[in-house]
Structure 1
Amino acid sequence: MSTRVTPLSLSAIEQLPTHPRRCVFWEMDPAPEGHGRDFCDPEFEKEAWLSMVMLEWGSCAQVASFGDSDDKIAGVAFYAPPNMVPRARLFPTSPVSADAILLTTMRIEPHASDLDVGADLIRAVVTDLVRRNVRALEAFGFRRQEDDRPSAGYVPSTTSVRECSPAECMIGADFLEDMGFEVVAPHPRFPRLRLELDRDHGWKEEVEAALERLIEAASLTVEDVTGRTALAVP
């Protein structure tokens, strides 16, 4: 079964599955215990964040759907400038490079686990960013450890969405490497990975080659017309 991937619109936020719609793992500063963050409305906070990023920066999520209706969502990927992602500065491998956009999280719904949704979402994100002349895409990968405890310097989530955790809300480092990302800041648990959009996808070279072909074709046409005109003159 094939999937369709489209940018998330403001009017479609309510159609997101429960976890992506309520998860604010990346979008809100983790609050110290006892400071009342557990009483926030995560769905409202997530919608406010998405609205802010879309209005100030543009598209920040790609949604994969399948079947006869876009309501059958298979997965979603979120991305944004790192200065719009509060948690981005809290990792031991921070900060994100100044020329990169941050891929924060990607959620594949259980009913779509047998589809190649992850690769489709990555391709859609890359296509969007290439059109916007972004040089690189970076992400904090997650490597599961045997004891699965956060490393020193990592601030855990204390939101009311109890299922939010690095394992649930971060992208596996192995998957990112399979997609062509390279580790630029090693860490046993939270490596930072980077995908060079102008190198791995060759978009600059393809555009330049296309322009050269157009110029060459135009030049040949002019020469041909000039030659035929010259022969017609006594």
Structure 2
Amino acid sequence: MSTLVSPLTLGGIEQLPAHARRCVFWETDPASSSELRGLCDPEFEKEAWLSMVLLEWGSCGQIATLGDKVAGCAFYAPPGMVPRAKDFPTSPVSPDAILLTSLRIEPHAADLDVGVDLVRAVISDMVRRNVRAIEAFGYRHGDEEPSDDLPTATASLECSDRECMIDAGFLEQMGFEVVAPHHRYPRLRLELDRDHEWKVAVEAALDRLLEEASLTMAGLTAGSTVGAGAH
């Protein structure tokens, strides 16, 4: 079964998985008081942020589905619309770039290339909109002690840098290059041009062909097994 990736719409916000609907790691200013954060409804805050960006800037998310289940999602926006973007030791994001904030894969799709499909969809969207580059603050795993480099408290206790940031190694595998090194929060950048859209389309077509070929071979193998058992 192939993964379908489509842009997030206002009507599609309710489709988001539970954590994605409530995660305000990127959308909450960590400098705000803990008392104010405690009064926030994270699901309301997330929906308000998504609605604002969708109305003022346009598509800011991609949703991957597998059959009738959501398999993952990715969010991105101009850095000026992302409150936490200014608070990293490797800030600021370049003025010509859009910030890819988060990419989350649901457990039932963990063994699939959903992350790759989501990043490809983001790239295609940004190329069509003539964006010059995508940047992201990656997360490098290592010493799991809390870092003093980044305020991590948010309105949702489920949110943290480890949980809500994109693995730096994965970003590098997708072609992003480190432009601001850091032991925990490197900032990475992917330059975009028209060739990216062509490459994404070709790679997606090749993936479909490989999947179809695999299914065909599986069918032939099953047929041979049944035939052998009949003798």
Bin of the TM-score, shorter chain as denominator length: 0.7 to 0.9
The answer to whether 1:8 aligns with 2:16 is no
Matches within 5 A, 1:146-157: 146-152=143-149, 154-157=150-153
SS in 2 for 1:101: strand
- 2:38 maps to 38
Q: Would you say the 8 A contact 1:74–1:111 is kept in 2?
A: yes
Identity of aligned residues (%): 69
Query: Structure 2 vs 1, CA of residues 103 and 34 (structure 1 numbering), >3 Å: closer, same or farther?
Result: closer
Query: Structure 2 vs 1, CA of residues 82 and 34 (structure 1 numbering), >3 Å: closer, same or farther?
Result: closer
Q: Give, in whole Å, the separation in 2 of the partners of 1:34 and 1:57.
A: 30
Structure 2: gaps of 5 or more residues: 199-231
- TM (norm. structure 1) is 0.81
Count of residues in correspondence between the two structures: 198
- 1:80 maps to 77
Q: Would you say the 8 A contact 1:101–1:134 is kept in 2?
A: yes
Matches within 5 A, 1:147-226: 147-152=144-149, 154-159=150-155, 161-198=156-193, 201=196
Q: Give, in whole Å, the separation in 1 of the partners of 2:185 and 2:143.
A: 14
- TM (norm. structure 2) is 0.82
Q: Give, in whole Å, the separation in 2 of the partners of 1:169 and 1:200.
A: 30
Query: Structure 2 vs 1, CA of residues 136 and 122 (structure 1 numbering), >3 Å: closer, same or farther?
Result: same
Shift of 1:114: 1.2
Query: Structure 2 vs 1, CA of residues 127 and 151 (structure 1 numbering), >3 Å: closer, same or farther?
Result: same
- Please, what is the CA RMSD of the aligned residues? 1.5
CA deviation digits over 1:63-87, x for unaligned, max 9? 00011x3xx1000000000000000
- 1:223 maps to none
Report the more deviating stretch, 138-147 or 177-186: 138-147
- 1:213 maps to none
- 1:215 maps to none
- 1:29 maps to 29
CA deviation digits over 1:41-84, x for unaligned, max 9? 000000000000000000000000011x3xx1000000000000
Q: Give, in whole Å, the separation in 2 of the partners of 1:29 and 1:191.
A: 20
- 1:20 maps to 20
Q: Give, in whole Å, the separation in 1 of the partners of 2:42 and 2:121.
A: 27
Query: Structure 2 vs 1, CA of residues 119 and 34 (structure 1 numbering), >3 Å: closer, same or farther?
Result: closer
Q: Give, in whole Å, the separation in 2 of the partners of 1:64 and 1:156.
A: 27
SS in 1 for 2:172: helix
Q: Give, in whole Å, the separation in 1 of the partners of 2:61 and 2:148.
A: 29
CA deviation digits over 1:104-142, x for unaligned, max 9? 000100011011100000000000000000000000000
Larger radius of gyration: 1
